[in-house]
Amino acid sequence: MPDTLTRGIRIAPMGAAMTTSASGQPLIPQPPATVAALRQAISQIAPAALPAFTRELDQAADQSRQGSDLAPLQRFIAQWAVYVHIQRQPDLAADLRRWEDTAESGDATRARQAASEIGRILDEAHAAIGLPAR
Residues 6+ apart with CB under 8 A from 95: 117, 121
Which tens digits make up the pLDDT trace of 9-38?
Answer: 444 333 334 444 556 799 999 999 999 999
Q: What is the pTM of this model?
A: 0.82
How many Å apart are CA 123 and CA 114, to the nearest integer? 14
Which letter does DSSP use for residue 16 in this model? T
